[in-house]
Structure formats: C-alpha cells, structure tokens
Structure 1
C-alpha cells in the first residue's frame, strides 16, 4: 500500500504547474534607464530588487491522493504484482532527458547557482566551453562584434598607462612560509599536472581569494565576491558560450543601496547587463588557467570574452547616465592568463567613436613565473588592483548612478511593454520641452509620446535585424574565403608535388644522356687508336 501511494504521489509531483517562462531581455548594450540630464518626465514601473520579498516564484503543491486497490487475485504472487503500478504511470516524466526534467520544476539555488551538479555534467560543460574558443575563426568573429584582442592605435589614456605601472609596484609585502620557498621542488611537482591541480596549489599564490582575505581582516575587500568556474547565467554572451572564468572578482549586491538597485533594474529570473550572477555585479578581474603554452591563446580568448561582457555593463551604465565620454579609452578591468610557466596580464578599455563602441586590450606584463624576481609579480599586481583600482571602479559606478533617475521619482508611467532603451533616443530638445511643461500637459502628450517611442522601438528592431543580417553575411563571406584559401593551399601543394616529380624526371633524363655521351666518347677513342 505504501509503495503504490508513494508512486502515485511521485507522478503528481512531476506534473506540477509551472509559471510562464519570463521574457528574456535583449543583450545589446542599449540604454536601460533615462538620466536626470536627459529625461525628467519619463518613467517605468518599479523593478524588483534582488532582495525584494516578492521575487520568489510560487509553485502550487499537488494534492496527495490514494490509489484504488484492486481486489486480490487467486495467486498470491499475482496479487503482489497487481499492487505495483506500471512504469509509465508513475515515472512518465522521469523518462525524459535530465535537461527537460530540470526545466519542469523550480529548483532552489544557493547564491544563484544550482545546489548540486553531477561530475559528468560539469566536465562536459567545461569541455564544451573550452572547445568553442578553439575555433579558428573565433577571433575574427569577435572583431565583427566589436571586440579586438589587441591594442587600438590610440591605446588607453596616458593616466591609465601610468596606472598599470603603479599596479606592478614591487614594494607590496608577500606571504611567508609558502611553497614558493621550495621553488624548485614546487615547480617539479606541478609539471605535467592538470588544470585542477594548478588551480588548487599554484593559483592562490598568484590570485588569492578576496573573500578569504576579507575573513583575515582586509576591510577594503568587504564589497568583493569571488567566483570559481561559475557560468555567467544572468547575462548574454558576446558570441559563443556564456563566460565561465576559472576565477573572477566582482561586486556584491550589498555594495549598492536599494535605490541604486532599482536604477539598475535587476530582476530575478531575467537577463541583465549589470549582473553576471545573482550575487555578482560588475566584475573587474578574471583569470583563466591552462596547461601548455599554446593553450594560453585560448585562455586569452576566454578572458577577452569575459571582460568584454564586463566592460559592456560599465559602458551601458555610463551611457544611461549621459557620461559616455568618461569611459572613453579608460581601463575598466583586467585579466590574468597563466599556465605552469608563463603569466600574461591584460587591461581592457572601450573606444567610443562615430562607428560605435569597440573594446580593446592593453598588454600590462608577460613574464616567467619561476624566477626569483617575478614569482610574486602576479600576487603584487592583484594586491594593487584591490587597493588602487577597486576604489576607482566603485567610485565610477556610484558617480554614474547619481545621474540616473530613480523609477520611483518619475511623475508618470509609460506602458510596461515599451522598452526604456527606446526612450533614450528622444532628442534633447524634446526632453527639455517635456520637462518644462506642467504635469497636465505631460498627461496630454502621453499618447503622442507613446507613438513616438513605438516608432523608435520599431526602428531599433529594424536596425538590429539589419545588423544581424550583415553579421550573417560577413560570417558567410569569411567562411567562403577560408574555404578558398584552403583550396588554394591544396592546389599549391599539388603543384609543388608535380613540379618536384618533373624535376626528378628531368634529372634522370640528364643523367641518362650523360651516360650515353660517355659511351659515345669511348667509342670514338677506340676508333681513333687503330687508325693511328
């Protein structure tokens, strides 16, 4: 009886009603919020805070019932089997693939991450993540998205170049009694080991955990949170898989006040430009660990992708505040790529021009880890980033948030379906005229404003469709060009092989003619001797 009841209850549990899937936000770097300078009379419905009590999704619990017991049969053995329901009745949903089962119910998470992940799922996820960055045309595709794995012609500002020199200050105190004191044995032990071993033993000596340092008394790290191999599920990638850095640092939600979180508009279960996980905002430092020198190129690609996503958030916030010029050519984040021997450090900055926003990287330093002069270089750099760059990073964000209007302070509401990004396209003259008008006139202009916003939204969608079409055509041209280059390479190899065969044949013919000539000369000499 208990077994049948349990089976029936399991079937009800798998049939729970689920809430409708929430609409995903667009991942483009358009404006999300009007600024005080740009707009004083527009509003949107107040977004939920990550700490709001209304952010939970209610799932109705099923009513538990009892199975109907069939009369016992003549045979005791048959009677027992009649109590067992068919597999299709009690386990119909469980027969689906694991990915579908996971989507059919609301799974509670801890700090935005699943409570448990099977080892096979984690391993396949990491393999898929790394494989995507090994594509031959990945760097080219990133460039079509405005992300360049090189410096621009102008580079970052001279002040930020000087900042990089300050971040490499060798005067930082380093830990004592570490394995670096046994540098040769430590190095020999880590040879030919996995990335996981480097992450556990070597990486903390290059980039220690900010949260652990906070526990040990570093008050300047109270706003910092670490992430280890956490997928950035709350944001959209630039291209390919979602970023999943081996180690990342960002800001906690508690760094921002309730009003600032409303301005950011971060809602549960929705994509965001400003949060990469539920508990990590505006990451400013990422690290990737690889085995082998060639793999560092793939680590650089992963870091480039992650930091472009991070810079996109800061640029978008500056754009919403009307202070886009303040991030032009400014270093907004850093990355570390390393394997057992070599460490590469880069800084990342945007350039804003007539052709849009582009992201570049600046080489800060590359060095061999196992020298007395440089074994603590990466540790000192991270220390300086936390003490010097992190306050600049936080102050910059707070400065931008001051110029963004709190949704609660806007005098009237627009339709919820209207994207706020379209509002930002209204000209400054129109904004000023709306600001000067009395509230009664504002209400009278509301239908006209809605029509204007809808028109602008349609134009933005058409522009996005054109850009996507152009990107697809560009990808097709690149693939065609690569195919042509490959075909030309094959033809050149064939021509070389044919040329070599002809040369060998010609040499053989020349050698044969030389032998014949020698025989002919000997015959002539023999004919001359009797005559004499």
Structure 2
C-alpha cells in the first residue's frame, strides 16, 4: 500500500473516550448526536476560535489569489437561477411582514421552526416530491458528525447539512472506499464521512438569534465545510488529481437569524502536501427589507445548488472513487488464505451485540486517535495467532480485527506466525 494513503485509513474511536461513555450515568448522559444547542455552540462563541481554526489551516477569509476562474461564475449563477417557490407560506404577500415581526426576540428553535426551511429548503423533501436526482442525497438535522475526523477537538454539529447517502454509490465504489470508511456501524472515524449515513457533505446551515451571534454561526459553518472540502481534497490526492481542485468552490454554507442571511463558498489552496481552506463571501443580505424583495433569494440559491451544482459535483467525486485501486495491498496475507476469514465473520456477528447503536453511547475522538484500540476481552478467548511486537503481546480472536487494522497501517512493525491450527 502506498504510504501516502495510510493517514487516510479509517480510525477507531479512542478506548479512553469509549470508557468514559460507559461509565456515565444514564441520568447525566446527553445523546452525542444531539448536544443541547447552547452546549454545541459554546466553543465557537470565543473569538479566539478563529485563531484556532487558522492553526489548522482554515481561514474565514479569501486567499490573495481568490477563487479559480472556473468558479467565478458559480455564485452569480446560483443566486440568479429562478426556482418555483412554495405557495401558502408565511412568506406570502399578506403574511410576510407579520411573520417577521412575530420572530423578534424569539429563540433559535422558533426561528428554525418558522422560517429555516423557507430559506434553506429540504433536499429530501424535494426528492420525495419527485426530484429523482436528489434521491442520492441525505440530510441531517442537529446531528453530531460522529464519524468524521474533526479539525479541532470540537466535532461539527450543524443545524442542517446535506451530503450523499451510502446508496448513491455502487457496490464496487463502496468496496474501494471501505478501507477509508472502516466499520461505520461501530463508529470508526473517517475523512470521507460526517455521520454514519452521510458521505462527502457539501452544504451546512446554522441558525442564530441576533446579528452578533451570526459570527458564531459562521465559525461553526467554517469548521463543518472545511471538513467537507478536506474530504474531497484527500480523495483526489489519493488518485493524484488534487490539482484539479485548486481554488475551486467545493462546499457552501448559510448562516441566518430572523432577518439576516450570510452565504459562503469554501475552497482549497493546495501547495504540495499542504492544504489550506478559505471562505468566499457569496452574498449577505437582510431579507426583511424592501417589502421582502429578497425573501426567496436563499431559497433560490439552495435549490440551484441541489439542481445545478450538486450533480456535477457528485460525478466528480465518483470519477475519483472509480480510480481508487480495487484491492489495496496492506502487506499481509488475504484473510481467506490465512484461515481467519470465517472466524472474523463469526466474530463480527457475535460482536454486533456490543456495537453502540444508541447515539448516546457514542463519543467523538480527536484526530490523533489510535488506529486501533485493543482492550480486555469480555468473551472467552481463543488463541489463533501470535504477533511479535515491542511488547510481545499475544492476540486472541476477539482482538484480531483490531490488530489487523494496526498491521494494515504499519506492516513493517510486525512479524506474523501461526500459533496453532484453527479448529
């Protein structure tokens, strides 16, 4: 396997964070995919968070060279393309002014309830209403991106986000992605996933109360969409096509409150192995002025992202996935040849009862999490092989899956030998 791919392999959650989850009492646990709104926003309220993002290569500003020529027309095209808007809503001619007054001083939950989907419409709803091209996308609402590798210690949790569902990819494409996705059911962390069901996100929305709070929303969106852009860059780097992405807009965000909307695009600046992520301002406006002249602007923009930008973006992703090698060489014998395949299949079935399917049992791990975590076995052990490493650990069948991940990542560090035949 190309050493340049190793850092992109899926990562196990740290055993330390898992043990913290198990030790938490039921009364004090908060589902990790739905942190309270105040809690999830807390780190971003500090203006120094922008400096932290800077240290990770994320800048809430444009680069000196600005976006590439190929992306110059994208913002204007997405803003000006007309779309059919829904009827009988509070954005109607006779209801709009009252609706805006009614939201003065209300909290974020009320703003989301009343107007968020009129500014950033639901992709899945369009799919259910007949937009076949949107059947490949999936959305999340206030769900933690528990399967992503965050850029900071805070995992993203957008109020609304859109990416691609697993079913959008063919079985062959999923096989090629599998080393980088890992065991998504058990919460492996990946550069290419947001939640366990969302691949390659491309749109996020954050909702706040008051103009000052929109700066907080912008920081949240910047983190989320930098993670999204990084996924595309790392995918294309795997097939040595990252140059195609230079300063190209690869994701979008919308920040809004009860009257203001800020729309941004995000793009990478690639210099060899180093990548920085920048933000391009697309449009900022007050949709309540001029009798609501621009009340549907964000709606048009978002729908145009779905209809006119997303399909070509997805084709670009698929073209890179198709170029990934079908069978990566990890430097160890195939499972079928070692006699472990059936044992590991049985192990996977038996271990499924231990998989934390309840989001409350999941915890996010920082990007430097170990590639595998070997803990104490809970079921009777059955020795099947031995691995000589620095600490000369013996390995049981309960640990084989985790250890194989470690071998895959660092094959030169291990000597593999048979302990005794399998029965």
Q: TM-score, normalised on structure 2?
A: 0.70
Following superposition, the deviation at residue 235 of structure 1 comes to: 1.2
Following superposition, the deviation at residue 187 of structure 1 comes to: 0.6
1:100 corresponds to which of 15, 18, 22: 22
Query: Which stretches in structure 2 are left out of the alignment for 5+ residues?
Result: 11-18, 334-407, 414-423
1:267 corresponds to which of 151, 175, 182: 182
For 2:6 and 2:258, locate their aligned partners in 1 and report how far apart those are by CA, in whole Å.
43
Q: Are the counterparts in 2 of residues 33 and 404 from structure 1 also a CA contact under 8 Å? A: no
Aligned to 1:238: 151
Offset from partner CA, 1:265-322 (integer Å, 9 cap, x none)? 2222211111111110000000000000000000000000000111111111000111
* 2:318 corresponds to 1:398: yes
Q: Which has the larger radius of gyration?
A: 1
Query: Which stretches in structure 1 are left out of the alignment for 5+ residues?
Result: 1-28, 35-43, 48-96, 105-115, 417-449, 456-532
User: 5 Å matches for 1:186-265?
Assistant: 186-265=99-178
RMSD over equivalenced CA pairs, Å: 3.0
For 1:205 and 1:218, locate their aligned partners in 2 and report how far apart those are by CA, in whole Å.
18
CA pair 188-242 structure 1, distance change in 2 beyond 3 A: same
For 1:142 and 1:187, locate their aligned partners in 2 and report how far apart those are by CA, in whole Å.
34
Aligned to 1:145: 56
For 2:151 and 2:319, locate their aligned partners in 1 and report how far apart those are by CA, in whole Å.
26
Following superposition, the deviation at residue 125 of structure 1 comes to: 4.0
For 1:200 and 1:249, locate their aligned partners in 2 and report how far apart those are by CA, in whole Å.
18
User: 5 Å matches for 1:279-318?
Assistant: 279-318=197-236
1:329 corresponds to which of 247, 258, 283: 247
List, as ranges, runs of 4+ consecutive aligned residues in structure 1 with deviation greater than 6 Å. 116-123
For 1:413 and 1:368, locate their aligned partners in 2 and report how far apart those are by CA, in whole Å.
54
* 2:62 corresponds to 1:133: no
Higher strand share: 2
Higher helix share: 1
Following superposition, the deviation at residue 453 of structure 1 comes to: 7.4
1:156 corresponds to which of 67, 73, 91: 67
Following superposition, the deviation at residue 120 of structure 1 comes to: 9.3
Q: Are the counterparts in 2 of residues 344 and 366 from structure 1 also a CA contact under 8 Å? A: yes
For 1:98 and 1:349, locate their aligned partners in 2 and report how far apart those are by CA, in whole Å.
36
SS of the residue corresponding to residue 285 of structure 1 reads strand
CA pair 117-253 structure 1, distance change in 2 beyond 3 A: farther
Q: Are the counterparts in 1 of residues 79 and 297 from structure 2 also a CA contact under 8 Å? A: yes
Following superposition, the deviation at residue 124 of structure 1 comes to: 5.8
For 1:358 and 1:220, locate their aligned partners in 2 and report how far apart those are by CA, in whole Å.
31
Offset from partner CA, 1:379-399 (integer Å, 9 cap, x none)? 000010011110121011011
Q: Are the counterparts in 2 of residues 334 and 347 from structure 1 also a CA contact under 8 Å? A: yes
Aligned to 2:349: none
For 1:355 and 1:252, locate their aligned partners in 2 and report how far apart those are by CA, in whole Å.
29
SS of the residue corresponding to residue 179 of structure 1 reads coil
User: 5 Å matches for 1:21-36?
Assistant: 31-32=5-6
Following superposition, the deviation at residue 169 of structure 1 comes to: 1.2
For 2:211 and 2:168, locate their aligned partners in 1 and report how far apart those are by CA, in whole Å.
38
For 2:247 and 2:40, locate their aligned partners in 1 and report how far apart those are by CA, in whole Å.
30
Following superposition, the deviation at residue 128 of structure 1 comes to: 2.4
SS of the residue corresponding to residue 359 of structure 1 reads strand
Q: Are the counterparts in 1 of residues 33 and 145 from structure 2 also a CA contact under 8 Å? A: no
